Amino acid sequence: MARITVEDSLKVAKTRFGLVALASKRARQLLKGAKPLMDSKNREIVLALREIAEEKVVYAYPEYLKGTKEDFKPIPDNTEFIGDEEYIE
Protein backbone atom coordinates (compact mmCIF):
# COMPACT_ATOMS: atom_id res chain seq x y z
CA MET A 1 0.00 0.00 0.00
CA ALA A 2 1.83 3.08 -1.22
CA ARG A 3 -0.48 5.64 0.34
CA ILE A 4 -3.01 5.34 3.11
CA THR A 5 -6.31 7.17 2.83
CA VAL A 6 -9.13 7.68 5.25
CA GLU A 7 -11.40 5.70 2.93
CA ASP A 8 -9.17 2.62 3.23
CA SER A 9 -9.43 2.71 7.00
CA LEU A 10 -13.14 3.59 7.03
CA LYS A 11 -13.95 0.24 5.43
CA VAL A 12 -12.86 -1.37 8.70
CA ALA A 13 -13.85 1.33 11.21
CA LYS A 14 -17.31 1.95 9.62
CA THR A 15 -17.68 5.54 10.97
CA ARG A 16 -15.37 8.54 11.09
CA PHE A 17 -15.83 8.82 14.86
CA GLY A 18 -14.93 5.16 15.24
CA LEU A 19 -11.87 5.63 13.04
CA VAL A 20 -10.65 8.58 15.10
CA ALA A 21 -11.14 6.66 18.34
CA LEU A 22 -9.46 3.51 17.05
CA ALA A 23 -6.54 5.30 15.35
CA SER A 24 -5.81 7.57 18.31
CA LYS A 25 -5.88 4.66 20.74
CA ARG A 26 -3.52 2.60 18.56
CA ALA A 27 -1.20 5.58 17.92
CA ARG A 28 -0.94 6.16 21.70
CA GLN A 29 -0.07 2.49 22.18
CA LEU A 30 2.67 2.78 19.55
CA LEU A 31 4.03 5.97 21.11
CA LYS A 32 4.24 4.19 24.47
CA GLY A 33 6.33 1.42 22.92
CA ALA A 34 3.85 -1.19 21.65
CA LYS A 35 5.27 -3.48 18.98
CA PRO A 36 4.11 -2.52 15.45
CA LEU A 37 2.04 -5.18 13.68
CA MET A 38 3.63 -4.42 10.30
CA ASP A 39 6.86 -2.96 8.94
CA SER A 40 6.71 0.77 8.30
CA LYS A 41 9.00 3.78 8.54
CA ASN A 42 6.07 6.17 9.00
CA ARG A 43 5.04 8.07 12.08
CA GLU A 44 2.84 6.35 14.63
CA ILE A 45 -0.50 7.78 13.44
CA VAL A 46 0.15 6.73 9.83
CA LEU A 47 1.23 3.30 11.02
CA ALA A 48 -1.97 3.05 13.08
CA LEU A 49 -4.07 3.89 10.00
CA ARG A 50 -2.16 1.32 7.93
CA GLU A 51 -2.77 -1.35 10.58
CA ILE A 52 -6.48 -0.51 10.66
CA ALA A 53 -6.75 -0.60 6.84
CA GLU A 54 -5.05 -4.02 6.79
CA GLU A 55 -7.50 -5.22 9.51
CA LYS A 56 -4.67 -5.98 11.92
CA VAL A 57 -6.27 -3.64 14.46
CA VAL A 58 -10.02 -3.91 15.08
CA TYR A 59 -12.53 -3.02 17.77
CA ALA A 60 -12.67 -5.16 20.88
CA TYR A 61 -16.46 -5.52 20.46
CA PRO A 62 -17.25 -5.33 16.71
CA GLU A 63 -20.82 -6.53 17.27
CA TYR A 64 -21.64 -3.05 18.61
CA LEU A 65 -21.01 -1.64 15.13
CA LYS A 66 -23.82 -3.55 13.44
CA GLY A 67 -26.42 -1.13 12.15
CA THR A 68 -24.43 1.96 13.09
CA LYS A 69 -25.27 3.97 10.00
CA GLU A 70 -28.83 2.65 9.72
CA ASP A 71 -29.66 3.56 13.32
CA PHE A 72 -28.48 7.16 12.93
CA LYS A 73 -31.37 9.57 12.57
CA PRO A 74 -30.63 13.29 12.21
CA ILE A 75 -32.50 15.73 14.43
CA PRO A 76 -34.82 18.00 12.38
CA ASP A 77 -34.02 21.72 12.49
CA ASN A 78 -37.41 22.61 13.97
CA THR A 79 -36.99 20.35 17.02
CA GLU A 80 -37.51 22.15 20.32
CA PHE A 81 -35.49 21.19 23.36
CA ILE A 82 -36.19 21.76 27.04
CA GLY A 83 -34.88 25.19 27.97
CA ASP A 84 -35.00 26.58 24.41
CA GLU A 85 -37.42 29.33 25.41
CA GLU A 86 -34.54 31.13 27.13
CA TYR A 87 -32.73 31.51 23.83
CA ILE A 88 -35.59 32.57 21.57
CA GLU A 89 -35.08 36.16 20.47
**Tens-digit pLDDT profile for residues 24-54:** 999 999 999 989 999 988 899 999 999 999 9
DSSP secondary structure string for all residues of 14-38: -SHHHHHHHHHHHHHHHHTTPPPSS
pLDDT in tens, 79-88: 666 655 555 5
Find out whether 77 and 44 touch, Cβ atoms under 8 Å.
no
CATH number for the domain formed by residue range(s) 1-59: 3.90.940.10
- pTM of the predicted model as reported, rounded to 2 decimal places: 0.63
Mean pLDDT of 59-78: 61
User: What mean pLDDT value characterizes the chain?
Assistant: 77
Flag whether pLDDT at 89 surpasses 90: no
